[in-house]
A and B are shown apart, each in its own frame.
Chain A
């Protein structure tokens, strides 16, 4: 165990919307907070995202969604993680997600949802907290 190694985090956008300002901004915040961020870009399938997460051995996946398809896409990502024996990867999300859907997402297993306007420090603190007990090899 080496305390100097910060966890790796995947940031990506599943689905069809191409507005990546939010995803890139969160990637930048996390980079500046000392994380190693694997950025996958826009319009990725849940399969591409999960396969990437497994190959990169990330501790967390952050998905940005502005399309309204968050319930379907998060469900699929969580299913695929389960199929690949990677349930321990923390999944969080952000974007234009209606507050009424947040409890449902959390119930499904999404650790945190950051809606527009969430301060950067709050995002970093929440992710640090989620990953506190995640062992880095």
Chain B
């Protein structure tokens, strides 16, 4: 590792006035230089890690930033001595590459709290709901002593579930008005949840959404038990069905803040983040889960490092190849020849990879 990087790491861990600056710089290296990931990972092996990396995901406007802000407030109330990190990802424009990172607007009350470090990231064309280097940023937050890190994804649609491999727990935030019960049947986002939040519970349609979600979970639970049972043998339901006062059948009952069908089904929280309702209950659930599982999570993260390097390798290949295909470059002319049928695609790919490899040889000694 180069001397400058070592100095930044030393500064970030110190109590000095430049500690925050150094940490922020390290985060920039993590997001801007994926080609150095191997070196950075080796250098960060003994860094302290957060106990909990919490993913917060959901559709645009469902209230992810507001939930994050209120969870942060609740966290600071409960654990005045502990540090919290927040990574907030917003989309980059696929047209200009620019980005407007506005998640912070909801979190400004934490801006000058020395126990909270917030970093906004632009997705930069990365499609899984996160940004390349997001894990590296989380790692730097561990380095500076964050006990918990909340990673808020871009507003996602149905299939951006990369957060599931990058967090210990995933909260999926839903808000009323986003579709009927068939949406609940679709694969993807809803499968990534460890916990659900039905947000904006003060709004019209929240009860219906709550019921649709619970009925989806009930169906999912039955399907799981059914698939696990041996044909010919009676199926065990492994617990009571949800038909009681807290449930989905009795529509007159006031829905509980927390409903869980069983231990393997994600619990559902009804929240109104803006009114700070249901957030304390969510926080206590997260605390309980962290106390029980923090050690398992530490071990699981080691396996995730391989995935991180895989992504960095793919990104470097993509970057080198797309450089060669930009208008004005030789590769672009080859593309034109291919459209005319004068160039075999297989040969073109071979050649691009060969040239990309040659370009890499000049990179190895580059610093920052």
Contacts and interface: CB of A to CB of B under 8 A. Distances in A.
B21 A30 contact: no
Contacts of B32: 2, 5, 136-137
B119 A56 contact: yes
A47 B108 CA distance: 11
Nearest to A42: B105
A28 B366 CA distance: 34
B225 interface: no
A57 interface: yes
A33 B96 contact: yes
A1 B368 contact: yes
B24 A31 contact: no
A109 B118 CA distance: 27
Interface string B90-114: 0011001111111011001001100
Main secondary structure of the interface of A (DSSP, over half): mixed
A48 B111 contact: yes
Contacts, number: 98
Given A1-B368, A85-B18, A137-B25, A37 B112 contact: no
Contacts of A40: 104-105, 108, 111
Interface in A1-16: 1-2, 4-6
A54 B366 contact: no
B149 interface: no
Given A84-B21, A137-B33, A1 B98 contact: no
A84 B92 CA distance: 29
Given A2-B33, A51-B112, A34 B17 contact: no
A39 B92 CA distance: 14
A130 to B, nearest CB: 17
B269 interface: no
B105 A48 contact: no
A121 B29 CA distance: 30
B126 to A, nearest CB: 13
A52 interface: yes
Contact of A34 (B24, B97, B112): B97
By size class, the interface of chain B is: 20 to 34
Interface residues of A, number: 35
A66 interface: no
Given A48-B111, A48-B112, A57-B28, A37 B101 contact: yes
Nearest to B120: A38
Given A2-B32, A51-B112, A137-B368, A56 B120 contact: yes
A41 B366 CA distance: 38
Given A31-B93, A44-B108, A51-B112, A57 B25 contact: yes
Contacts of B111: 40, 44, 47-48, 51-52
A41 B120 CA distance: 14
B171 interface: no
B197 interface: no
B271 interface: no
A55 B102 contact: no
Interface of B: 17-18, 20-21, 24-25, 27-29, 32-33, 92-93, 96-102, 104-105, 108, 111-112, 117-120, 122, 319, 366, 368
Interface of A: 1-2, 4-6, 27-28, 30-41, 44-45, 47-48, 51-52, 54-57, 83-86, 136-137
29 contacts: A2-B32, A2-B33, A28-B100, A32-B93, A32-B96, A34-B96, A34-B98, A36-B98, A36-B99, A37-B99, A37-B101, A40-B104, A41-B105, A41-B108, A44-B108, A47-B112, A48-B111, A48-B112, A51-B112, A52-B118, A54-B21, A56-B24, A56-B118, A84-B17, A84-B18, A85-B18, A136-B32, A137-B33, A137-B368
